[in-house]
Structure 1
Amino acid sequence: MAGRPEKRLEPDDGPVQRLAYELRLLREQAGSLTYRTMAQRVRFSVTTLAQAASGERMPSLQVLRAYVQACGADPDEWQVRWKQAVEESAATRDTAGTPPPYRGPAPYEPEDRAYFFGRDSLVAELVALVTERRFAILSGASGSGKSSLLRAGLVPALQETAGRLRPSSLVRLLTPGEGPAAAYDRLLNPCPDEPEIWVVVDQFEEVFALCRNRAERNRFIDLLLAAREPDSRVRVVLAVRADYRGRCAEHPGLAQALRDSSLRIGPMSPAELREAVTGPAAAEGLLVERELTNRLVQDVANQPGGLPILSRALLETWRKRRGRMLTLAAYEAVGGVLGPIVATGEEVYGRLSPAQARTVRQLLLRMVVPGDCSPDTPRPIPMAELRSLPEPEEAVRVVERLAHARLLTVGGDMVELAHEALLTRWARLRGWIEEDRERLREQCRLTEAARIWQEFGRDPGALYRGIRLARAEEFFTAPKMRGALTAQERAFLSASRQACEAERWEAARTTRRARCLWASLAAVLAVVLTAALVSLQRPRTGERLPIETAGPPLWPTRPHRGRMRPGARLIVWRRGLD
Structure 2
Amino acid sequence: MDYDLSRLGEREFEHLSQALVLAALGPGVEVFGDGPDGGREATFEGGVNLPHRDGRGRWNGFGVVQAKYLRRPGDTASGERWFAAQVKAELEKWLEPDSVRVKKGRVPDYLLMTTNVVLSPVAGGGGVDTVDRLIESYAKRLGLRDWAVWHYDKLCRLLDVHDGVRRTNAGQIVLGDVLSQIHDLLPVDPRRRESAASAAKALLEGQSDRDAACPYKGLAAFTEADASVFFGREQLAARVVGRLSRSHAEGRPLVVMGASGAGKSSLLAAGMLPALRQGQLDVAGSEAWPRALFTPTGDPLGALAAAVAAATRRSADGLAGQLRADPDRLAAWLGEDARTGDLESPPAGADRCLLVVDQFEEVFTQCTDSAARQAFIDAICAAAACDDGSAPAAAVVIGIRADFVAHLAAFPQLRAAMEAHPVLVGPMSSDELRSAVEQPAAAAGLTLELGLVDRLIDDLGPRAGRSAGAEASYEVGQLPLLSHALLVTCQRSAGTHLTLAAYQATGGIRRAVASTADDIVARLDKDHYDTARNLLLDLVQIGEGTDDTRRRMPLARLLASAPDPQRTQRVLTELAAPDARLVTIHEDRVEITHEALLRAWPTLREWIDSDRAGQLLRQRLDDDAHAWTEGNRNPVHLYQGNRLTLAAAHGVPQSLSVLVRRGV
Question: TM-score normalised to the size of structure 1?
Answer: 0.50
The structure with the largest alpha-carbon Rg is 1
Question: TM-score normalised to the size of structure 2?
Answer: 0.44
